[in-house]
Chains A and B, each alone.
Chain A
């Protein structure tokens, strides 16, 4: 199956700093990638749709200036949590679809555990 790699798997940072998370499609190109956030014991919540070569589309209630998304190539999308605060501590997951024939089957990264002190 298709492989999506996410890095780092875990990050601990101080309040006020920015953290960048990378999402790579290793064996396919993806014009669209998705970013989710998951709090303990809860389901995945879609944050934004990352579009290669254009602006990301954010879900209602997600601050675009706080969660910066860049999709500069067909295999890489990055999520930057700017000026992170303890309430941003969460599990962040990305996904992508290989395209034609996959009927929107999404392949997910392993996730990034962000802890803001």
Chain B
């Protein structure tokens, strides 16, 4: 079973900021939170990873509150090309650890 819960779908308009929240109530002390993006008929692509507080890169920001039971992926000023499925995963840091994907959030960006 996936260890995270996300909204099934979200709609937005071009130029808006989109925030996708993920719940991981049973996150383990050593677990990281990683977000992936998947376009149709492609493999997932790494977006961002964090452990606590806030992480920002050129694509997105990730906000993680102190209790780490949830996290929010923030996409600034989305465009039509950001329409995709976004997956949130919590997992250990071992490089041989398997990832269990949940349903993900289908983001539809409208013109």
A-to-B contact residues, CB < 8 Å: 1, 4, 6, 31-32, 34, 36, 43-46, 49, 91, 93-95, 97-100, 102-111, 113
Choose among A31, A94, A99, A106 the residue that contacts B46 (Cβ–Cβ < 8 A).
A106
Chain B residues, Cβ within 8 Å of A102: 95
Question: Which residues of B from 61 to 111 have beta carbons under 8 Å from A?
Answer: 87, 91-104
Q: How far, in Å, is B5 (CB) from chain A's closest CB?
A: 13
Secondary structure call for the B interface: loop
Q: Assuming the A-B contacts A43-B87, A43-B104, A111-B43, are A105 and B98 also in contact, with contact meaning beta carbons closer than 8 angstroms in the complex?
A: no
* CA A31 to CA B98, docked complex, whole Å: 13
On whether the beta carbons of B43 and A110 are closer than 8 Å, the reply is yes
In the complex, whether B54 has a CB less than 8 A from a CB of chain A is no
Choose among A94, A104, A106 the residue that contacts B92 (Cβ–Cβ < 8 A).
A104
B-to-A contact residues, CB < 8 Å: 2, 32, 34, 36, 41-46, 49, 87, 91-104
On whether the beta carbons of B93 and A1 are closer than 8 Å, the reply is no
On whether the beta carbons of B98 and A49 are closer than 8 Å, the reply is yes
On whether the beta carbons of B99 and A46 are closer than 8 Å, the reply is yes
Choose among B43, B91, B96 the residue that contacts A93 (Cβ–Cβ < 8 A).
B43
On whether the beta carbons of B94 and A104 are closer than 8 Å, the reply is yes
On whether the beta carbons of B46 and A91 are closer than 8 Å, the reply is no
On whether the beta carbons of B99 and A34 are closer than 8 Å, the reply is yes
On whether the beta carbons of B34 and A105 are closer than 8 Å, the reply is yes
On whether the beta carbons of A46 and B46 are closer than 8 Å, the reply is no
On whether the beta carbons of A111 and B41 are closer than 8 Å, the reply is yes
Q: Pick 21 A–B contacts, CB within 8 A, sort by A.
A: A1-B46, A32-B96, A34-B98, A34-B99, A43-B87, A43-B103, A44-B44, A46-B100, A91-B41, A95-B43, A99-B95, A103-B93, A103-B95, A104-B32, A105-B34, A106-B46, A106-B99, A108-B36, A108-B43, A108-B44, A113-B41
